[in-house]
């Protein structure tokens, strides 16, 4: 990433151009200027015992209320005009010739009121944002629309923007141009215009003599090795045992190659290649945005579907600031509203919202709505990376222990960089799965192509890397004639052992419990007898049971959020949170987390908050790229933080974003409720009822009716505590900001009236009585060092899957008969949400294993003909809807933290199905999806 283009630079540019930004979450309580909060309609969402009866947003969603960004038109937005324009894009269906222009003769009188081509955008200085919160230069490519005279970089790249003053003509024109390649004029064949490959990284580790001994080399103690490409070849640093960290890493990689080459007859050396296909997340809400440049005020108002609103607002300001004088002088401020959305990662760092902004800039003073139809969504929504894998596993035949594993994972990022290097790196760092590897070498390659660009998608590269590992281990068990679960148990990474980056994972590792439960499950124990019985009963069908298990990181190494919790005079609670809802149930789970700590769920909640007057922080927004020296300098400013607000991704809502909520709740307990209670208990004659007792805050408990008690003291309602806190001028509200880089930033605060406080947070504000907030300048802060990023991951949740399938030998079709999941995710905040994630993740995994696939290039999604008629998504009948089961390990204790689990749940079912097919027909497949055609061919 280019450190010169820092967020700090953006802010300066923004100020210089007079562009300010503001974000609000639609329908979110305090900031619900736009619509009434439909979630408040049924307060009975939570039962008296603190269990959620239904989601806080359930009523709105089940009654069809406007909740998604896509539901809003200009007439629904306060202060916007009633009428609005509509727009659509024409995309490139070729990437091998010069784009020369648009031919709209097909449209007859349905020609657009405004046609925008790429050369006009360039004249106006409008280019995709880059650097800072967006990421590396070229993150979204160099242009929004391919200018005439140039060859598109990628299939599906937008060529023209058509704006209509009314919906009907826009809709009719869009339909007329669908499947109409003649609307685009092409010049001479030019060859492809593919950008340079995006980068490579390598995690090499050689352990010491024992798992506990210092590593001989590991990324955490050395470095992650980065390299650029020369053409299609990675230009790795030279190897030198006495050189710098990268050179020593390359020396270690050479040692691993020597180990493979010298493996003797006591070793089993297995080399395999795998391929994981390009896939479309197929979020049902397609990308969309509605934006209006108010000519009177110069306010650029937006309603966007995004998982990363903070990025959109900040980067849009930078984009405007970098534009030409006409645009720059027209836009004075940016006001972003967001609705609920869903993207499975693909609405995090997508170019689409910026295109919607561009549309508004050519709206001639009217709001413009740019909303993909499904064909357009296939053409330009971020894809799951395809991945070509080469892997080698060396196993000691005597002990059946893994000696080393080497893997190369080549991910096709398509024609824009986006998050491809990051996705491929996370994938490579996860490839080891649940196993302890004394020697490992995992390489990530992010390659460029003319494919539709790929980005953050549920699993973030790890599906592509862990599925091969699990298919390989299953095959190795067969080669060694050992039970696959037993082989796994012999090779477990146990608590306290290091991962392939040399980092020790957080907390207890419980994958052995998952393995034991899977091994004891009837599907596994009885698989041989079931196979015999089934195949006797169903001649022509072959039965198989497959198993797989993974552990998956959650979080990104740069996680931050803010939460404010206020004790209202009524005794109610009000929560403000920076995190926003993407369908996972964040609004519900955060409310329950507050209830778990303070005995009462918030009465008022606001999510997606970005205006924080009570938490006046500044941020450089370089949590991954700053130097240690820079951070040490910046951290002296008590109002500085490495990162203001994380995007909603990486299964981060419950643990990381939730950490701010939980810390705010605990801090409100210790600074407000507890001292208020002590003041009541100790009041009165003879020192009150407290005098004869000894209690501390660790004994604080809430009764079932939400009253605070401790050690037999009188239960006190929050109403009484609120009154006491106000009467005595105690703290009545707290705001915390927390930051995590594979460990939490911790800081100490001198809180007037409360003394020295150490918190897993880097900023704290408090409010006394009914006054304003006081920002408590931290006295000391310890941020996790930047070298901690080399850990790549320390937070894991684990999941095992058993798949029971049947193969029809006449058709090759695979039927999933049943499946069983076993998950470890710490404390379940709302078990029904966890269960729903398991069921939904498994369905998506089944799609990846058996159904969903996109050609990468010509004939692929960029050609504008793809929809769900040919991209087959799983239906209920495909997922064994009535015959599936799941169990979740009970937490170790009631203080277990909740673990992110929305991604891990979709992964093990993929290799489990592949392994089940191997069990069924005795043939192994090395590419997904495993199709009927492949199976028929294998069966001969």
Partner 1 sequence: MTLKSSPLSFTVNGKPVGPIDVPDDMMLLDVLHEYLGLTGSRMACGQGICHACAVILDGPGGPREIRSCITGAHFFANKSIRTVEGHAERDAQGNVVRLSPVQQAFIEHFSFQCGYCTPGFVTAATVLVERLKTAPVARRDLEAAIDKAMGQHICRCTGYVRYFEAVRDLVLATPGLVKG
Contacts of partner 1 in 149-178 (CB under 8 A): 167-169, 171-172, 175
**Cα–Cα distance for residue pair 731/82, rounded to 1 Å:** 45
Binding region for partner 1 (CB under 8 A) out of 368-376, 405-413, 629-637, 746-754: 368-376
Quick one: 881 or 892, whose CB is closer to partner 1? 881
* Smallest separation (angstroms) from partner 1 to the CB of 68: 6
Quick one: 337 or 408, whose CB is closer to partner 1? 337
**Cα–Cα distance for residue pair 557/443, rounded to 1 Å:** 19
**Could you say which of 7, 39, 55, 366 contacts partner 1 (CB under 8 A)?**
55
**Could you say which of 128, 585, 784, 812 contacts partner 1 (CB under 8 A)?**
585
Task: Please check whether residue 463 is in contact with residue 423, taking contact to mean a CB–CB distance below 8 angstroms.
Answer: no
Which residues 6+ apart lie within 8 Å of 533 measured at CB?
none
- Tell me how crowded residue 495 is: count the other CB atoms within 10 A of its CB: 13
Can you give the C-alpha Rg of the chain in angstroms? Answer: 28
Surface-to-core class of residue 740, CB atoms within 10 Å of its CB (0-12 exposed, 13-18 middle, 19+ buried):
buried
Residues 498-537 touching partner 1, rule: CB under 8 A, are none
* Smallest separation (angstroms) from partner 1 to the CB of 868: 4
Quick one: 336 or 582, whose CB is closer to partner 1? 582
Number of residues that bind partner 1 (CB under 8 A): 73
**Cα–Cα distance for residue pair 385/425, rounded to 1 Å:** 12
Residues 79-118 touching partner 1, rule: CB under 8 A, are 108-110
Q: Does the footprint of partner 1 cover residue 374 (CB under 8 A)?
A: yes
Q: Does the footprint of partner 1 cover residue 65 (CB under 8 A)?
A: yes
* Smallest separation (angstroms) from partner 1 to the CB of 308: 17
HSE of 231 in the Cβ direction (CA atoms, 13 Å)?
1
Binding region for partner 1 (CB under 8 A) out of 275-283, 330-338, 622-630, 810-818: 275-283
| Dihedrals phi, psi of 723, to nearest 5 degrees | -65, -40
Quick one: 783 or 866, whose CB is closer to partner 1? 866
Q: Are strands 796-808 and 288-293 parallel, antiparallel or unpaired?
A: unpaired
Binding region for partner 1 (CB under 8 A) out of 247-255, 384-392, 580-588, 694-702: 580-588
* Smallest separation (angstroms) from partner 1 to the CB of 205: 37
Q: Does the footprint of partner 1 cover residue 778 (CB under 8 A)?
A: no
Which residues 6+ apart lie within 8 Å of 358 measured at CB?
116, 121, 126, 144, 161
* Smallest separation (angstroms) from partner 1 to the CB of 843: 3
Binding region for partner 1 (CB under 8 A) out of 64-72, 208-216, 534-542, 636-644: 64-72
Residues 588-627 touching partner 1, rule: CB under 8 A, are none
Site string for partner 1, 192-231 (x = CB under 8 A): ----------------------------------------
Q: Please provide the DSSP assignment of 615-647 as one string.
A: S--EE---TTTS-HHHHHHHTTSTTEES-S---
Quick one: 589 or 765, whose CB is closer to partner 1? 589
Alpha-carbon dihedral 412, 418, 424, 426, rounded to 10 degrees: -160
Surface-to-core class of residue 210, CB atoms within 10 Å of its CB (0-12 exposed, 13-18 middle, 19+ buried):
exposed
* Smallest separation (angstroms) from partner 1 to the CB of 304: 16
Residues 647-706 touching partner 1, rule: CB under 8 A, are none
CA 588 to chain centre: 19
Binding region for partner 1 (CB under 8 A) out of 2-10, 358-366, 561-569, 841-849: 841-849
Binding region for partner 1 (CB under 8 A) out of 115-123, 149-157, 281-289, 325-333: 281-289
**Cα–Cα distance for residue pair 284/340, rounded to 1 Å:** 12
DSSP 135: B
Quick one: 726 or 813, whose CB is closer to partner 1? 813
Residues 443-472 touching partner 1, rule: CB under 8 A, are none
**Could you say which of 18, 22, 30, 61 contacts partner 1 (CB under 8 A)?**
61
| Strands lying side by side in the sheet with 199-206 | 233-235, 225-230, 199-206, 439-447, 402-412, 386-396, 267-276
Report the run of H or E that residue 447 belongs to, with start and end. strand 439-447
Residues 868-887 touching partner 1, rule: CB under 8 A, are 868-869, 873-877, 879, 881-882, 884
Task: Please check whether residue 924 is in contact with residue 470, taking contact to mean a CB–CB distance below 8 angstroms.
Answer: no
Structure tokens at 445: 């390659």
**CA dihedral over 833, 835, 838, 839, signed as positive or negative:** negative
Site string for partner 1, 400-439 (x = CB under 8 A): ----------------------------------------
**Cα–Cα distance for residue pair 184/104, rounded to 1 Å:** 8
Quick one: 449 or 651, whose CB is closer to partner 1? 651
- CA neighbor of 78 nearest in space, from 88, 66, 87, 61: 66
Structure tokens at 273: 């290649």
Structure tokens at 873: 């998504």
Q: Does the footprint of partner 1 cover residue 865 (CB under 8 A)?
A: no
* Smallest separation (angstroms) from partner 1 to the CB of 103: 18
Q: Does the footprint of partner 1 cover residue 344 (CB under 8 A)?
A: yes
Q: Does the footprint of partner 1 cover residue 479 (CB under 8 A)?
A: no
* Smallest separation (angstroms) from partner 1 to the CB of 109: 4
* Smallest separation (angstroms) from partner 1 to the CB of 315: 25
Quick one: 143 or 281, whose CB is closer to partner 1? 281
**Could you say which of 142, 373, 512, 887 contacts partner 1 (CB under 8 A)?**
373
Report the run of H or E that residue 371 belongs to, with start and end. strand 368-371
- CA neighbor of 153 nearest in space, from 145, 163, 162: 145
Q: Does the footprint of partner 1 cover residue 283 (CB under 8 A)?
A: yes
Q: Please provide the DSSP assignment of 181-249 as one string.
A: GGGEEEEEE----PPPP-EEEEEEEE--SSTTSPPSB-TTTS--EEEEEETTEEEPPPP-TTS-HHHHH
Site string for partner 1, 33-52 (x = CB under 8 A): --------xx----------
Binding region for partner 1 (CB under 8 A) out of 155-163, 278-286, 597-605, 738-746: 278-286
Quick one: 521 or 819, whose CB is closer to partner 1? 819
Binding region for partner 1 (CB under 8 A) out of 11-19, 379-387, 427-435, 576-584: 576-584
**Could you say which of 25, 144, 340, 435 contacts partner 1 (CB under 8 A)?**
340
Cα–Cα distance list, 185 to 886, 894, 926 (Å): 54, 65, 41
Structure tokens at 385: 């990376």
**Could you say which of 582, 648, 789, 935 contacts partner 1 (CB under 8 A)?**
582
* Smallest separation (angstroms) from partner 1 to the CB of 839: 4
- CA neighbor of 334 nearest in space, from 391, 275, 383, 289: 289
**Could you say which of 3, 33, 43, 63 contacts partner 1 (CB under 8 A)?**
63
Task: Please check whether residue 323 is in contact with residue 125, taking contact to mean a CB–CB distance below 8 angstroms.
Answer: yes
* Smallest separation (angstroms) from partner 1 to the CB of 655: 18
Task: Please check whether residue 625 is in contact with residue 289, taking contact to mean a CB–CB distance below 8 angstroms.
Answer: no
**Cα–Cα distance for residue pair 157/146, rounded to 1 Å:** 7
Task: Please check whether residue 126 is in contact with residue 47, taking contact to mean a CB–CB distance below 8 angstroms.
Answer: no
**Could you say which of 454, 807, 843, 910 contacts partner 1 (CB under 8 A)?**
843
Quick one: 77 or 250, whose CB is closer to partner 1? 77
**Could you say which of 31, 124, 255, 285 contacts partner 1 (CB under 8 A)?**
285
Residues 796-835 touching partner 1, rule: CB under 8 A, are 830, 832-833, 835
């Amino acid at each position: 990433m280019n450190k010169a283009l820092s967020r700090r630079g953006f802010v300066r540019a923004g100020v210089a151009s007079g562009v300010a930004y503001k974000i609000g979450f639609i329908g979110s309580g305090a900031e619900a200027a736009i619509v009434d909060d439909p979630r408040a309609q049924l307060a009975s969402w939570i039962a008296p015992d603190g269990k959620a009866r239904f989601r806080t947003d359930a009523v709105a969603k089940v009654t069809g209320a406007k909740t998604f960004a896509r539901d809003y038109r200009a007439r629904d937005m306060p202060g916007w005009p009633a009428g609005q324009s509509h727009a659509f894009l024409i995309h490139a269906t070729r990437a091998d010739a010069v784009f020369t222009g648009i031919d709209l003769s097909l449209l007859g009188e349905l020609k657009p009121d405004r046609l925008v081509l790429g050369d006009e955008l360039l004249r106006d200085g409008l280019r995709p944002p880059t650097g800072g919160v967006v990421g590396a230069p070229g993150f979204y490519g160099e242009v929004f629309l391919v200018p005439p005279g140039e060859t598109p970089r990628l299939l599906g790249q937008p060529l023209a923007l058509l704006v209509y003053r009314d919906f009907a003509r826009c809709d009719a024109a869009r339909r007329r141009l669908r499947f109409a390649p003649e609307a685009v004029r092409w010049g001479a064949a030019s060859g492809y215009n593919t950008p340079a490959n995006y980068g490579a990284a390598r995690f090499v580790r050689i352990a010491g003599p024992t798992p506990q001994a210092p590593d001989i080399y590991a990324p955490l103690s050395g470095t992650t090795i980065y390299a650029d490409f020369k053409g299609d070849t990675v230009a790795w640093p030279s190897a030198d045992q006495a050189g710098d960290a990268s050179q020593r890493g390359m020396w270690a990689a050479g040692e691993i190659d020597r180990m493979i080459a010298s493996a003797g007859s006591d070793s089993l050396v297995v080399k395999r290649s795998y391929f994981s296909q390009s896939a479309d997340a197929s979020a049902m809400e397609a990308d969309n945005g509605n934006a209006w440049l108010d000519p009177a005020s110069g306010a650029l108002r937006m309603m966007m579907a995004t998982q990363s609103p903070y990025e959109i607002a900040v980067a849009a300001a930078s984009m405007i600031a970098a534009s030409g004088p006409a645009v720059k002088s027209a836009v004075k401020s940016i006001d972003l509203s967001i609705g609920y959305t869903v993207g499975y990662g693909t609405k995090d760092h997508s170019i689409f919202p910026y295109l919607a902004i561009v549309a508004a800039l050519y709206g001639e003073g009217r709001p413009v709505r740019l909303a993909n139809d499904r064909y357009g969504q296939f053409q330009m929504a971020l894809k799951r990376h395809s991945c070509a894998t080469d892997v080698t596993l060396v196993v000691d035949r005597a002990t059946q222990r893994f000696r080393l594993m080497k893997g190369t994972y080549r991910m096709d990022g398509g024609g824009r960089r986006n998050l491809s290097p990051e996705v491929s790196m996370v994938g490579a760092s996860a490839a080891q799965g649940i196993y302890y590897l004394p020697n490992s070498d995992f390489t990530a390659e992010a390659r460029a192509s003319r494919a539709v660009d790929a980005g953050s998608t549920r699993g973030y590269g790890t599906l592509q890397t862990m599925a091969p590992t699990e298919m390989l281990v299953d095959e190795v068990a067969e080669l060694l004639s050992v039970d696959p679960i037993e082989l796994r148990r012999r090779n477990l990474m146990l608590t306290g052992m290091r991962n392939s980056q040399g980092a020790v994972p957080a907390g207890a590792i419980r994958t052995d419990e998952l393995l034991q439960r899977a091994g004891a499950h009837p599907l596994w124990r009885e698989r041989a007898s079931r196979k015999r019985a089934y195949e006797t009963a169903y001649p022509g069908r072959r039965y198989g049971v497959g198993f797989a298990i993974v552990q998956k990181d959650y979080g990104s190494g740069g996680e931050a959020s803010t939460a404010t919790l206020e004790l209202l005079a009524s005794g109610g609670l009000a929560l403000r949170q920076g995190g926003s809802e993407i369908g996972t149930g964040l609004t519900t789970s955060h409310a329950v987390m507050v209830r778990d700590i303070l005995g009462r769920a918030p009465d008022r909640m606001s999510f997606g908050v970005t205006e924080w007057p009570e938490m006046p922080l500044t941020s450089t927004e370089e949590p991954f790229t700053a130097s240690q020296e820079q951070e040490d300098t910046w951290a002296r400013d008590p109002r500085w933080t490495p990162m203001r607000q994380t995007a909603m991704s990486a299964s981060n809502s419950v643990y990381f974003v939730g950490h701010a909520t939980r810390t705010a709740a605990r801090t409100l307990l210790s600074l407000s409720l507890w001292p208020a209670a002590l003041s009541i208990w100790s009041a009165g004659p003879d020192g009150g009822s407290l005098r004869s007792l000894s209690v501390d805050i660790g004994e604080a408990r809430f009764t079932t009716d939400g009253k605070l008690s401790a050690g037999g003291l009188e239960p006190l309602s929050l109403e009484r505590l609120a009154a006491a806190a106000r009467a005595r001028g105690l703290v009545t509200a707290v705001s915390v900001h927390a930051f995590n880089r594979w460990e939490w930033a911790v800081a100490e605060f001198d809180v007037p009236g409360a003394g020295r406080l150490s918190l897993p947070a880097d900023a704290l504000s408090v409010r006394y009585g009914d006054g304003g907030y006081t920002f408590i300048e931290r006295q000391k802060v310890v941020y996790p060092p930047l070298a901690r990023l080399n850990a790549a991951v320390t937070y894991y949740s684990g999941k095992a899957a058993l798949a029971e399938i049947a193969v029809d030998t006449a058709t090759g079709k695979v039927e999933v008969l049943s499946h069983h999941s076993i998950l470890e995710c710490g404390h379940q905040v709302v078990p029904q949400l966890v269960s729903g994630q398991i069921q939904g993740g498994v369905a998506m995994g089944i799609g990846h294993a058996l159904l969903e696939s996109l050609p990468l290039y010509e004939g692929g999604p960029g050609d504008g003909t793809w929809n769900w008629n040919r991209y087959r998504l799983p239906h209920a009948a495909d997922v064994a809807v009535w015959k599936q089961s799941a169990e979740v390990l009970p937490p170790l204790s009631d203080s277990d933290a909740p673990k992110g689990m929305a991604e891990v749940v979709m992964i093990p079912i993929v290799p489990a199905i592949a392994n089940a097919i191997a069990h069924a027909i005795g043939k192994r497949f090395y590419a997904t999806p495993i199709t009927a055609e492949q199976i028929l061919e294998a069966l001969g």
